[in-house]
Amino acid sequence: MSNRIDATFENLRATGEKAFVAYVSAGDPNLERSLEILIALAEAGADIIELGVPFSDPLADGIVNQAAAARSLAAGCDTTGVFELIRRFRKSHQVAIVLFTYLNPVYTYGYNAYHRDAAEAGADGILLLDLPPDEAALNCEMASHAGLRQIRLIAPTTPPGRIDLLTRHAEGFIYALSRTGVTGSHGGPSTRIGDHVSAIRQHTDLPVCVGFGISTPEQAALVASVSDGIVVGSAIVKQVELNADAPDVADKVGAFTRPLIEAAKAPR
């Protein structure tokens, strides 16, 4: 089945460019502003948008993204609101969207129904933070993906045997963490990220995008030089937080993100 994530990486390979994946929380600071932010990121040149689904217990996230989820929930965003946000975005833009979520809201909604409705709304992939692929394999209900590419996280401490398992069950691209820990809890990306990417590439031909700790154009350029793309999350979400009450929050987020995208995509 044709998928925007696959098409995006095919086009990037053809042009020799690296991918820029931007993370924001859906509904932050509210649904109207969130739509404007998605459009601003798309028009700034983001190739893929990771859309965080607000959840009350985002244990893998640091304080910046936890606060974003809290703002989204306080503004009334729920799963149906996230799907409606994607539908509205799809009226004007075709940038690939990956849902970044925990298992609880998916399972509560209904695993198959969630995947079906997300794909019908216009989502292209899903990253289930707390569902290991070996555990998913034990539940036949979780075998159906209904059109969403299953993105996998791989940490720098993941042993080779585990990398092999994760990559065998991965689709779309690999999200390689530059460091261990929760989001936004560290300084810059690890200086050994190139070794981490090389280790993953021994097990898969999927593109490898690196996230955690990227907040400056210099860091973006460095990580892009040893990977197939970069993921920037907390630094963008922090801009939403700082400008949450500003009517031009989307413009400010776009202005912050554009130099990071240019640095990641600069010829090298």
pLDDT digits (tens, 9 = 90+) for 121-153: 999 999 999 988 888 766 767 666 678 999 999
Q: What is the CATH number of the domain that holds 247?
A: 3.20.20.70
Catalytically annotated residues: 50, 61
Structure tokens of 49? 């948008």
The boundaries of the domain holding residue 175 are 4-265
20 close to 210: Cβ distance less than 8 angstroms: no
The string of pLDDT tens digits covering residues 238-265 is: 999 999 999 999 999 999 999 999 999 9
DSSP annotation of 185:
-
Q: How many domains does the chain have?
A: 1
Q: What is the CA radius of gyration of the chain?
A: 17
- The pLDDT value recorded for residue 208 is 98
Mean pLDDT estimate for the chain = 92
DSSP string of 54-119?
A: P-S--TTS-HHHHHHHHHHHHTT--HHHHHHHHHHHHTT---EEEEEE-HHHHHHH-HHHHHHHHH
State yes or no: pLDDT of 191 exceeds 80. no
pLDDT of residue 8 exceeding 60, the answer is yes
**Cα 209 from Cα 40, distance rounded (Å):** 22
Report the pLDDT averaged over residues 84-101. Answer: 98
- Helix axis angle for 160-168 and 193-201, nearest 10°, is 60
pTM for the model: 0.94
